A and B are shown apart, each in its own frame.
Chain A
Amino acid sequence: MSESSVIQVSNLKKVYGKTVAVDNVSFEVKKGEIFGFLGPNGAGKTTTIRMLTGVILPDEGEAKILGIDIKEDPISVKKIMGVVPEVCNVYVDLSSWDNMILTGKIYGVKRKEREEKAEELLKKFGLWERKDEKTRKFSKGMKQRLILAMSLIHEPKILFLDEPTSGLDVQSTRMIRKIIEELRLKGKTIFLTTHNIEEANLLCDRIAIINKGKIVAIDSPEKLKSTFKRMQSVEVAFDRIPEDIRWLHSIPYVNECKKLGDKFRVYTKDPDSLIKELVNFAEKNNLKFISLNTLGPSLEDVFVALTEKVEAKYHE
C-alpha cells in the first residue's frame, strides 16, 4: 500500500445470508483524489460505503482510513470523515440552523467555531435566508444541499458521498458538483458513488467499477476508455438516407452499426479506413456529408461492456 493513500481497502467482504454483497474488494484512494465508485443497482456500492464509514462491520478484510483501522477505532475514523449516505434526510422538525448546530455538536466542534462554520456553509449553499425555517417545507434539492453542508461542518479530510445528486433539479445538481470541484481544490479526498456516468466522467480522477460484489476495473476515465478500442465509432449523416444500408455491414473493420435518427453510428477498430470507405460510398451514390465525427468509447460504453461481461460470466 502506498503512503499517499488515505483510504486503503484490502479483501473486504460482506455476506448477507447466502448473498455475497461485497466479495474480496481491494483498492486505494490517494490524497486529494475524487474517486468514483460505479456499479449497477445491487452491485455492492452502498454496502462498501457503509463498511468504510463504520455503519456496518465487514465480515472479512480490512479498511483503513488515514492509517486507522475502521474496526479497531471507528470513532476516531468517523471524526475525520464527512458522510452523505444514499438514503438520508435532515431533521424536518428542526430548522436548517439547528440541523447544522446539532451536527456540529455531535462531531464535537466548539461552540464559536460551529456557529461560524454553520453561517459560512449555509451562505455558501444558498440556505442562509431560510436558516430559521423548519426544513419540513424544503425541496429535495435544498435538503440535499443542507445534508452536504452538515457533512462539512467539522472540516472533514475525507468525504463519502453516496449518490449526492440523485433525483435533484439542475440548479442543485450544478451547485453540488461545483462544490465538489472546490473541495478537490482545497485538497479534500472524495469518495463518490453515482449512477450518473457522465458525472463520474467529469468529476473523478479515477473510477472503480463494481459488479456482483467484485471490482471489475479501476483506472482513470480516459484510460478505461482507451482500453476499449473496439468501441471507437464514426458517426455519419448524409443529405438523404441511403435506401440500402446493408453495405455498411459489408465494409471491413465494422464491428457494429446503429441507426440513430437521421444518422448512423458505426463501431470500428480502425476509424481511418472506415472513413475512406465512407467517402467512396458517398461519391458512388452521389451523397453529400452533413456531418462526420469520430468518437471514442464513452464511459457508459465501457461501463456497460464491463458489467455485461461479468453478467455473462456469472450466468455461464
Chain B
Amino acid sequence: MSKLHTKRTFLYTLKASLVITEKNARIYYLKAPVIIFGILFPVFFFLAFALGKKVIPFILVPGLVAMTLFFTSSSVGPLITPWERNAKTYERLLASPVSLSSILLGDMLAGVIFGVIISSIPLTIGILFFNAKFFHPLFLAGNIVLSSLCFSSLGVLLASPAAEAPSQVMMLSSLVRFPLIFISGIFIPLDKLPFWGKVIAFISPLTYTVDAMKYSLYDLKSYPAFINILALLFFSFVFFSIALKMHRKNLIKVL
C-alpha cells in the first residue's frame, strides 16, 4: 500500500472516530446510568464525606474536580459497548468502514468531552467560592484533558468483558472505580497516608490528577508536576492498549 493511501485511510478513520464520538454524545450522554454514575453519584458521595466537617479548600476543590473528572469521563465508555451489543447495533458498526480502534477512540473521545464539560462546574464553584486560583492555567488545562483521556480509556477498558447487559458492566466498573477514590489523596492527603497507602496510591491514576489539580489551583504538590503528566500519559496508553486487545479478544463472544 502506498504512503498516500495509508495517510488517506488514517485521516478517514480519524474522521470516522469523530462521527462515532458525535453519535455517542447524542445517544449516551443523557442515559440514566451516565447521569447517575457519572454526575449525581460523585456529587452526593463527596457531600456525604465533606458536610459537617471543617472545609479545607485545598483539599475540597481539587478533590471534587478530580473526582468529577474521574467519574464522568469513565462513566460513558462502560455504557456504550454493552448498550450497542444489547441494542444489536454493534455488528453493523463493525461492518462499516471503521476499525475497532477507531470505534474505541470514538468512545474514548466521548468520555473526554463529557468529563471536560462536567468538571468545569466544580472548577467554577472552586474559583468563585473557595479561593482557588489559576496558578498554572496551562498545566491545569493539560491536566484536565489528560486526566479525562486517562479515565475515559479506563472506561473503555471496563466495557471490554463479554457482557451483553449494560448493568453487568456498570456494576463491574463501580467495583473498580470506588476503591480508587479512597486511596488517591482525595479525602486523606497523600502525606498523611500510611506507607502501604502511599504504595497503593502510587498505582492509582487518580492520585496524579488530584496532585496536579492541587498544584494548578493552590500551588501545592506531593509529586513533581512532570511526574503527574507522565503518569497520566502512561496510564492512558496502558488502559487503551489493554482495552483494544480485550475488545478484540472478546469480539466474537458478543456478536
A-side interface residues toward B, CB under 8 Å?
16, 50, 53-56, 72-76, 78-79, 83-85, 87-94, 98, 102-103, 105-108, 147, 150, 160
| In-complex Cβ contact of B91 among A79, A88, A92 (8 A) | A88
The reply to whether A106 and B98 contact each other, CB–CB distance below 8 Å, is yes
CB-defined contacts of B32 to chain A, threshold 8 Å: none
Chain A nearest CB: distance from B82 CB in Å?
14
Chain A nearest CB: distance from B85 CB in Å?
10
CB-defined contacts of B97 to chain A, threshold 8 Å: 74-76, 78-79, 106-108
Nearest residue (CB) in A for B98 is A106
CB-defined contacts of A50 to chain B, threshold 8 Å: 91, 255
Nearest residue (CB) in A for B10 is A75
| In-complex Cβ contact of B27 among A89, A94, A160 (8 A) | A94
| In-complex Cβ contact of A74 among B20, B23, B91, B99 (8 A) | B99
CB-defined contacts of B1 to chain A, threshold 8 Å: 72-73
B-side interface residues toward A, CB under 8 Å?
1, 9, 12-13, 15-16, 19-20, 22-23, 26-27, 87-89, 91-99, 251-252, 255
The reply to whether A106 and B19 contact each other, CB–CB distance below 8 Å, is yes
14 new A-B contacts at CB < 8 Å, known A74-B99, A91-B87, A108-B15:
A50-B255, A53-B95, A56-B251, A56-B255, A78-B98, A83-B95, A85-B91, A88-B88, A89-B87, A98-B26, A103-B96, A105-B19, A107-B96, A108-B97
The reply to whether B88 and A89 contact each other, CB–CB distance below 8 Å, is yes
The reply to whether B95 and A55 contact each other, CB–CB distance below 8 Å, is yes
| In-complex Cβ contact of B92 among A74, A75, A88, A94 (8 A) | A88
Provide the bound-state CA to CA distance between A147 and B93, in Å.
Answer: 12
A-B residue pairs in contact (CB < 8 Å), sample of 29: A50-B91, A54-B94, A56-B251, A73-B9, A74-B97, A74-B99, A75-B12, A75-B13, A75-B97, A76-B97, A78-B97, A83-B92, A85-B91, A85-B95, A88-B89, A89-B88, A90-B89, A91-B27, A91-B87, A94-B26, A105-B19, A105-B22, A106-B16, A106-B19, A106-B96, A106-B98, A107-B97, A108-B12, A108-B97
Chain A nearest CB: distance from B70 CB in Å?
26
CB-defined contacts of B27 to chain A, threshold 8 Å: 91, 93-94
4 tightest A-B CB contacts, nearest first: A78-B97, A89-B88, A83-B95, A105-B19
| In-complex Cβ contact of A75 among B9, B19, B252 (8 A) | B9
The reply to whether B92 and A85 contact each other, CB–CB distance below 8 Å, is yes
Nearest residue (CB) in A for B253 is A16
Nearest residue (CB) in B for A86 is B91
CB-defined contacts of A84 to chain B, threshold 8 Å: 92
CB-defined contacts of B255 to chain A, threshold 8 Å: 50, 55-56, 87
Provide the bound-state CA to CA distance between A50 and B255, in Å.
Answer: 10
CB-defined contacts of B89 to chain A, threshold 8 Å: 88-91
Chain B nearest CB: distance from A87 CB in Å?
5
The reply to whether B91 and A87 contact each other, CB–CB distance below 8 Å, is yes
CB-defined contacts of A103 to chain B, threshold 8 Å: 96
CB-defined contacts of A16 to chain B, threshold 8 Å: 252
CB-defined contacts of A102 to chain B, threshold 8 Å: 19, 23
Provide the bound-state CA to CA distance between A88 and B86, in Å.
Answer: 10
Chain A nearest CB: distance from B96 CB in Å?
5
The reply to whether A75 and B99 contact each other, CB–CB distance below 8 Å, is yes
Chain B nearest CB: distance from A157 CB in Å?
13
Nearest residue (CB) in A for B88 is A89
CB-defined contacts of A87 to chain B, threshold 8 Å: 88, 91, 255
Provide the bound-state CA to CA distance between A53 and B252, in Å.
Answer: 14
Provide the bound-state CA to CA distance between A231 and B189, in Å.
Answer: 84
Nearest residue (CB) in B for A103 is B96
Provide the bound-state CA to CA distance between A108 and B93, in Å.
Answer: 14
CB-defined contacts of B13 to chain A, threshold 8 Å: 75
